[in-house]
A = this chain, B = another copy of it.
């Protein structure tokens, strides 16, 4: 049960009081034209320090002025280059608008600094709520929002300080792995461990999927090959590079692949077509993510489609009621193929 406490935002007057100076001096210092207005750097430093201590954020719209709620809802999203985030954003916008909220979305390209900067910018626009999607450091964002009295939520990747809505990565990956293992056995005869490609070892989703991957192997009665767990990042180039390295080390490539996202799959497919490694005998693949064209590839690819409508329903349930029943909601993904 998480409740959002409406704390009062720090103002230039508060800061002026704390610094024993005037609001205009604070203003001049904080918006950077203190030199032009001939404020001493002593005072400037003092004000800057106090502002930082207080977690001050510039109130961009003195207007939303007299409206206690801005009805602005911010979302941070890593990329627009895949169907998963695309549908999250599109549906998020529609659901926000349905509720009379104004969605502001920022694409942070998996850049941690940009995530923080974007969060601060949105707060200075007085957003009432913040949804951090696939954030690299969700807790940092939660912290910044909490300091401004703004509720926040994590989507896709969980945090520990705000309610989180994510896919059931463990169960999804376990089932996907099992399916690919079985298909592999049928196709090629004999039990053989899969290759895991893509994602970051440090992120929750990848580690949960790896856990499901391992448990599926154990249930299937075949040991995981530790050299074949390539959590090399999501980008196509990284996935292709990891495979290239593996090949350069003279490792045998297995007949079955677990690919951690369509983005990584893009790299895997490119590598395959460039090196012609698998030749005509395509590997059996499982992809933790969905794309309509991947479904049509002439390859054997099982897909797990994350249930975006169900995830966003949970997100807006929390926002609508202002409370989260559970700190972490895990939504079962959908199997395709």
Contact = CB atoms under 8 A, between A and B. Distances in A.
Contacts of A334: none
A269 B291 CA distance: 13
Instruction: Specify how many copies of this chain sit in the oligomer.
Output: 2
A62 interface: yes
A49 B107 CA distance: 40
Nearest to A66: B62
A80 B102 CA distance: 18
A105 interface: yes
Contact of A61 (B63, B80, B105): B63
A1 interface: no
A211 interface: no
A228 to B, nearest CB: 23
A107 B93 contact: yes
Interface residues of A, number: 39
B89 A107 contact: yes
A104 B93 CA distance: 12
A41 interface: no
A79 B91 CA distance: 11
Interface stretch (A144-152, A191-199, A219-227, A293-301): A293-301
15 contacts: A59-B63, A60-B63, A61-B62, A63-B63, A63-B64, A63-B65, A80-B90, A81-B86, A94-B109, A102-B125, A105-B105, A262-B293, A270-B292, A273-B296, A293-B294
Interface of A: 59-65, 79-81, 83, 86-87, 89-90, 93-94, 102-107, 109, 121, 125, 236, 262, 266, 269-270, 273, 291-294, 296-298
